[in-house]
């Protein structure tokens, strides 16, 4: 018998798509619509007797249920019989990336970038869900009608659901694993950036950056020999790979900068703009809180003690929400999420005390009432004191006057939704038109300076009168 009935699906036992130590994947058919599917069959006796495998199964289902994008393999159904568990997922008829690369006689850098783009599109959704893949390799990137999709989330880490010590476990495929995992050190979502760098390198050169027969040999090669490039590639591609394959995780490129990299920026401009908008709003909130802390004379160390944050060294979203609402009760959940995501640098869905302290220091927020530092920079003369954001605004004002720009035309140019008001996002774009390097913090302070009635928008009268007034 060549097929097996599993609920509404026909499992084609002679059409094996793949097999691992604990599961087999078969081609199947959804009898209700005649659609081809992939059915992963896992024998219960293997799973129930192994706590690690059971965790992996639960993890895979938990992750796949959250992912709906075009560049991830979608979960369609889950079933159970007396002997087996079944995971029904989207069928990818063209195999995996490893098979695809073997079939290609030659792949240009442009072709490799197209594959990279699909992979990074898939990761946008993973990042939004707080998920680390941890086992990214060509065999786990499936291909369907020339679209590349992230799959096999058995090792994926949905950070919010597991203890931090899981992050120290060794999982995945050694040739694509970050050195932090190989050395059993704590790692973050940047481990996936390392894997992306290895895969992009392999797409171009048809081999991994380092070749080894064992973990110690691989680790020794990574630490001893820098990445080499067998043939010519563009400066942008080379720089991208080197930034991904930085051995020290602190020095490795982060996700936001990755999507801004010149190699791929144009393909992800909309995503980058959304991230910038989110950062600008988070900066705006932190600066509002900063002013509130001064006005209300709030001692954050005392607040921490009330929440007992320092006892466990971690701040959950709920605790941050309590803390920020104590400072400003009008903050919405979405606004607090912006702030939380900006502080949570290692994407563990928990803020450790050092992360919080670093964020406060970066924005010159006092941790304690005894910790008062001047927020002043000097311009020209040490006797003349001017905040940095005012210096930036003065430069922009001078540039507008020098180029004889019309304030009316500038306002209309950046009022993209034509509602006669510049919101924070539009205003930041206006500022960066004249100074692309202006920080989110300075931009948000300038926005507050223009927003005279504090309604979250700048009308033309506010815009004009502020520019015409003396700084």
The residue count of the chain comes to 471
As given in the structure block, the two tokens for residue 228 are 């080499």
Measured between alpha carbons, how far is residue 192 from residues 122, 137, 170, 254, 465 in Å? 12, 10, 14, 10, 49
Active site residues: 135
What stretch of H or E contains 352?
Answer: strand 351-352
Q: Are 72 and 125 in contact (CB under 8 A)?
A: yes
Residue in this structure with the two tokens 């970050």, named with its chain if needed? 178
Q: Which of 237, 118, 136, 239 is nearest to 189 (CA)?
A: 136
Enumerate residues 6+ apart whose C-beta is below 8 A from 98: 137, 138, 139
* Rounded Cα gap, residues 71 and 23, in angstroms: 23
Question: What does the DSSP assignment read for 404-459?
Answer: T--HHHHHHHH-TT-SSEE-HHHHHHHHHHH-TT--HHHHHHHHHHH-TT-SS-EE
| Degrees to nearest 5, angle at CA 170 with 165 and 238 | 115
The pair of structure tokens assigned to 431 is 């500022």
CB 126 within 8 A of CB 149: no
DSSP secondary structure of 209-224: SS--SSHHHHHHHHHH
- Contact 86/6 with Cβ under 8 angstroms? yes
**H/E run at residue 465:** helix 460-468
Is 40 annotated in some ligand binding site? yes
Binding-site entries for ATP: 40
Binding-site entries: 40
């Amino acid at each position: 018998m060549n097929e097996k009935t599993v609920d509404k699906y026909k499992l084609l036992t002679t059409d094996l798509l793949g097999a691992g130590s604990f599961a087999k994947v078969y081609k199947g058919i959804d009898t209700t619509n005649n659609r081809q599917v992939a059915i992963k069959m896992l024998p219960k006796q293997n799973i129930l007797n192994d706590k690690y495998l059971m965790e992996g199964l639960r993890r895979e289902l938990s992750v796949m249920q959250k992912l709906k994008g075009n560049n991830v393999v979608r979960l369609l159904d889950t079933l159970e019989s007396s002997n087996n568990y079944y995971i029904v997922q989207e069928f990818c008829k063209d195999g995996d990336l490893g098979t695809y690369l073997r079939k290609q006689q030659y792949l240009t850098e442009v072709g490799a970038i197209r594959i990279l783009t699909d992979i990074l599109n898939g990761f946008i959704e993973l990042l939004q869900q707080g998920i680390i893949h941890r086992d990214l390799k060509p065999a786990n990137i499936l291909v369907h009608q020339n679209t590349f999709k992230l799959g096999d989330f058995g090792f994926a880490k949905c950070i919010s659901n597991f203890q931090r010590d899981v992050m120290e476990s060794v999982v995945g495929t050694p040739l694509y694993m970050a050195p932090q995992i190989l050395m059993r050190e704590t790692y973050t979502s940047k481990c996936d950036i390392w894997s992306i760098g290895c895969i992009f390198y392999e797409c171009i050169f048809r081999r991994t950056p380092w070749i080894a027969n064992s973990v110690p040999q691989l680790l020794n090669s990574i630490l001893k020999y820098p990445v080499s490039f067998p043939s010519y590639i563009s400066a942008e591609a080379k720089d991208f790979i080197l930034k991904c394959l930085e051995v020290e995780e602190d020095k490795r490129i982060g996700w936001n900068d990755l999507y801004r990299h010149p190699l791929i920026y144009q393909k992800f401009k909309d995503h980058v703009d959304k991230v910038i908008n989110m950062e600008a709003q988070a900066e705006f909130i932190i600066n509002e809180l900063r002013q509130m802390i001064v006005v209300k004379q709030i001692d954050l160390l005392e607040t921490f003690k009330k929440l007992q944050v320092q006892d466990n060294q971690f701040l959950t979203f709920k605790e941050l929400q309590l803390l920020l609402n104590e400072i400003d009760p009008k903050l919405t959940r979405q606004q607090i999420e912006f702030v939380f995501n900006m502080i949570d640098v290692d994407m563990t869905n928990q803020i450790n005390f050092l992360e919080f302290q670093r964020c406060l220091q970066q924005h010159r927020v006092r941790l304690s009432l005894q910790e008062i530092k001047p927020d002043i920079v000097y311009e020209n003369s040490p006797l003349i004191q001017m905040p940095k954001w005012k210096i930036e605004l003065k430069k922009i004002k001078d540039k507008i006057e020098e180029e004889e720009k019309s304030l009316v035309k500038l306002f209309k140019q950046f009022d993209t939704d034509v509602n006669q008001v510049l919101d924070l996002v539009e205003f930041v774009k206006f500022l960066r038109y004249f100074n692309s390097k202006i920080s989110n913090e300075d931009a948000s302070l300038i926005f507050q300076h223009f927003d005279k009635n504090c309604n979250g928008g700048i009308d033309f009268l506010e815009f004009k009168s502020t520019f015409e007034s003396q700084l």
